[in-house]
Amino acid sequence: MASSTFNFDELAKEVLSSQKQEEMKTDKETKKENDDDWQNHPMFWEKGENGNCEDWFDENSDEFQALKALLHDDDDLTIKEKAEMQKQKGNARLKYKMQKMYARKAVEEYTLGIALCEDALKQGGRLLVENKIEEDKEELKEDKEEDKEEEKERERKEIQTILSQLYNNRAFAALNLGNNKRCIEDAEKCLELDERNIKAYFRAATACKNLFDYEQCLKFCKRGLEVEKDAPELKSLKKVAKKRYEMEKEEKEKRLEINRGSEVLAKTLTRTKKIKWGPPRLHTGQRLPEYDEQANVFAFFTLIVYPEFDQTDVIQQFRENDSFKAHLDVLFDPNGPPLPWDEKNEYDRNSVGLYYETNAVKPYEEEALAMKIAEYAGGDVKETMMQSELELNLEAHRTDPRDRKFVQLKSENWTLADVLKEKDYVVSGHPTLFCVVKGSAFEKRFLDGQWTY
């Protein structure tokens, strides 16, 4: 049969539909886009998976299978020669790796070579083309059986060597395309065939680093350095990965510690202290209490709202066993500066009264509260918990306005714990009290529901 050389571009042209070629526009910009589209051979590519920011070659496409069959039918070259040809063509493309088009073309060339090698190995060593086998048939009959087996083994090893190189080179192309997982897969396949390939270790380690998998990155570095202890690229990468892995491990341990503490805190609040906690309704957001484990006492960020003037005061550390009287004495100290917004001087120590709101929101379950505490404190919130968080928004915890009610503090000698334990009181992000002038016209409007927030 006449000699022929397989050419990917020529065969791809045959696969492209005539309709697409007729639709090519003459406009310079449009022509460039169409040329890129043609060069990328989109019919052979499929969408990438998670961890891959680039599409990947579709080896199962009918078009690719047709091209592989045509390459198989080239009777003038051995499988080894065809695979070597594909490797060289891929290498030529990869010289221009900074351009995605050429990197993708390199992947295509390597993939054809890989397919040929794997098919040959699956056939049990039929590595020569059929016509060459026929020519050597008489000679092979005269050889000893053991010589035949040695020849097959030699050819098998040669194919495996080329196959490992093809996998290694395709791993490099995948790395340039951002296909980190594909890079790792191909590097691993290369190492299965050639465990001393330093470049494969480095490429796999680099891809792991790109995926922020520093533990796996270190493993590849260590394996490679066992082969070549002074490999500079691996040593440098190992140093970076080790530092980041240790930092990540330390952060993870901190987050897990926060998680454990969050579970304890949620349990203490809900079970021991009988406190009901829900999402915040005010702009001050979620303010979790500080816990003094030795004294078994919580200190709360507490907001004092003056609804008549839309003003607020903050008590940063309102311990649960502190009385309201003690804090009112400080807030309305007669020797202190006047309240700038109280122009009529109506708010003084003897004139004010405190209210709290019942059923402000629906409370969290204990597990949900632990999650909120961990999230607030920088803990490691699990994916399943994050999914739950989508359902734990304020809307899901809103209460019927008809169930909400402002209740006057029974006594200034009450502690914060007395309010927190009230049957219908739910902490909305943090304890909140409302301060008005007793007996005033605004107090009446306030209690009649004419003020809302």
Helix residue ranges per DSSP H, 194-335: 198-210, 214-227, 232-267, 324-331
Check whether 40 has a pLDDT greater than 70: no
Question: How would you label 57-87 residue by residue, b for 16+ Cβ within 10 Å and e otherwise?
Answer: bbeebebbeebbeebbebeebbbbebbbbbb
Q: Which of 46-55, 192-201, 226-235, 285-294 has the lowest mean pLDDT?
A: 46-55
First to last CA, the chain: 90
Cα 249 to its chain centre, rounded Å, is: 17
pLDDT band at residue 76 using 50, 70 and 90 as cut-offs: confident
Question: How would you label 333-365 residue by residue, b for 16+ Cβ within 10 Å and e otherwise?
Answer: eeeeeebeeeeeeebeeeebbbbbbebbbebbe
CB 87 within 8 A of CB 32: no
Domains and CATH numbers, the chain: 8-194 (no CATH), 275-362+398-447 (3.10.20.90)
* Digit-coded pLDDT (tens) for 170-216: 999 999 999 999 999 999 999 999 999 999 999 999 999 999 999 99
Mean predicted confidence (pLDDT) in 399-423: 93
Half-sphere exposure of 222 (CA within 13 A, CB side): 8
Check whether 15 has a pLDDT greater than 70: no
- pLDDT > 70 fraction of the chain, expressed in percent and rounded: 77
- Give the count of beta carbons closer than 10 Å to the beta carbon of residue 384: 9
* Digit-coded pLDDT (tens) for 314-360: 999 999 999 999 999 999 999 988 899 999 999 999 999 999 999 99
> Please, what sign has the CA dihedral across residues 171, 176, 181, 182?
negative
Q: Which of 47-61, 108-122, 366-380 has the lowest mean pLDDT?
A: 47-61
Q: Which of 3-7, 88-92, 278-282 has the lowest mean pLDDT?
A: 3-7
CB 204 within 8 A of CB 184: yes
What pLDDT, on the 0 to 100 scale, is given for residue 2?
A: 41
- Report which DSSP code applies to 353: E
CB 72 within 8 A of CB 128: no
The C-alpha atoms of residue 44 and residue 120 are separated, in whole angstroms, by 23
Give this prediction's pTM.
0.58
| Greatest extent of the chain over all pairs of C-alpha atoms, in Å | 121
The residue with greater pLDDT, 54 or 247, is: 247
What pLDDT, on the 0 to 100 scale, is given for residue 373?
A: 83
